[in-house]
Structure 1
Amino acid sequence: MLPFYIMTIIGAIGVLGILGALLAVLRRRMGPRIERKAFLTRAEIEVLEYLRRVLPGHHVSCQVSMGALLKPQRGLSRKEFWRTRNRFGQKIVDFVVIDPDTGSVEAVVELDDASHDAENDRARDALLALGQYRVIRIPSRPRPTESIVREATASLRA
């Protein structure tokens, strides 16, 4: 027979194991750990300010879901509807320039920073083109200035 203190240690290890398993189950049920993130980067804040300055007759919205800009065509089967919707529903565009009188989107403006990939950008541009949106891309290098943003958006003031 084992000494009492060894039996106590084995029992304590068993209890700790059970408590650990229960804690793991509770964590899974509580859901993922979530934390707050920055809504805009410093560069996006600057470009937003430049857009608002150089396009005073327009509204500019930021971090807009492509699901607010595009929808699957009518008449698709349920499966094809969701397959199409899933191609763009979770994607976000940096800025949307809106005509304040009509509420129509004049252009989508993307700040091409380190998070952008040329191949993915072409695919996103193609999706937006299907919705007949004009996409204006502003490179993040060199750091955009008001004059760079003014030049990139000149067609919206014409």
Structure 2
Amino acid sequence: MRALDLILGPLAAWTAGAWVWRKVKRAGKRSNGINTAPRYPTTPAPQQSPWAMQKTDRRFDPGTYSYQSRALLTRNEIEFWTRLTRALPQAHVFPQVAMSALIEPRNSRFAEQNFRRIAGQRVDFAIYDQQFNILCVIELDDPTHDEFKDRQRDARLQSAGIRCVRFEARSRPDFKTIRARVYGNQPARTDIHPNHPDQP
């Protein structure tokens, strides 16, 4: 028994000393700003091939895409915009305004469906007062307009309390007529054909 104690005693002391020495050594390296080696080996990050890097960079290369600029307004719309701004000096006249910037669906289970119905649509001109309260929307009608779709658009705007004033695309209304139509002194649609469904 005494012989066994003589063997196990020094062995236990040596093991405890080695454990303490490793702890002290690691603590010293941390305090000196030295990172200890990871306990488990790590897998290096895969290197991108030159082709993959080139392919990624092409997404930001203008030569990858095929677009061209387009005019905001036609020549006739520019002339009418000029006429509107001169007839309405106290108002703000914005051309080509998205319908979704003017109206939005009410909270209902059909909100998303109703938004898709106006997404991508624009009005020719939106008229605002000096406090940016909307006065009305102006549309220029030409032979390409679909009467059914126009009436749908008018109904959607009216549901939000916005009047839609329509002029013939080639008409040249005087300033007095424009002001009367915009400020509500005349019906919003006076250019209606006698056989039009809205005509009384």
- Paired position in structure 1 for 2:126: 96
Residue from 124, 148, 151 that aligns with 1:122: 151
Residue 36 of structure 1 is aligned with which of 55, 66, 69? 69
Q: Give the whole-Å Cα distance in 1 for the aligned partners of 2:96 and 2:152.
A: 18
Contact persistence 2:124–2:140 (CA under 8 A): yes
- TM-score normalised over the length of structure 2: 0.56
CA RMSD of aligned residues (A): 1.8
Q: How does 1:57-76 map to 2 (within 5 A)?
A: 57-74=90-107, 76=108
Distance 1:40 1:123, change over 3 A: same
C-alpha contact 1:136 1:153 (8 A) present in aligned 2: no
**Separation in 2 of the partners of 1:73 and 1:122?**
20
List structure 1 segments (4+ residues) > 6 angstroms apart after TM superposition.
none
Structure 1 residue 113, shift from structure 2 partner: 2.2
Equivalent residue for 2:163, pick from 134, 138, 157: 134
Q: Give a deviation string over 1:46-101, Cα, whole Å, max 9, x none.
A: 11000001111101001000001111112x23xx2211101112110000110112
After TM superposition, give the deviation of residue 125 of structure 1 in Å: 0.6
TM-aligned CA deviation for residue 36 of structure 1: 1.9
CA–CA separation in structure 2 for the residues paired with 1:97 and 1:42: 20
Structure 1 gaps of 5+ residues are 1-29
Unaligned ranges ≥5, structure 2: 1-63, 186-200
Larger Rg: 2
Q: Which residue of 1 aligns with 2:82?
A: 49
Distance 2:161 2:116 in 1: 19
Which structure ranks higher in relative contact order (CA pairs < 8 Å, sequence separation ≥ 6)? 1
Partner of 1:83: 113
Using the alignment, how far apart are the partners of 1:73 and 1:40 within structure 2? 31
Q: Distance in 2 between matches of 1:137 and 1:156?
A: 10
Give 1:8-19 correspondences, 5 Å limit.
none
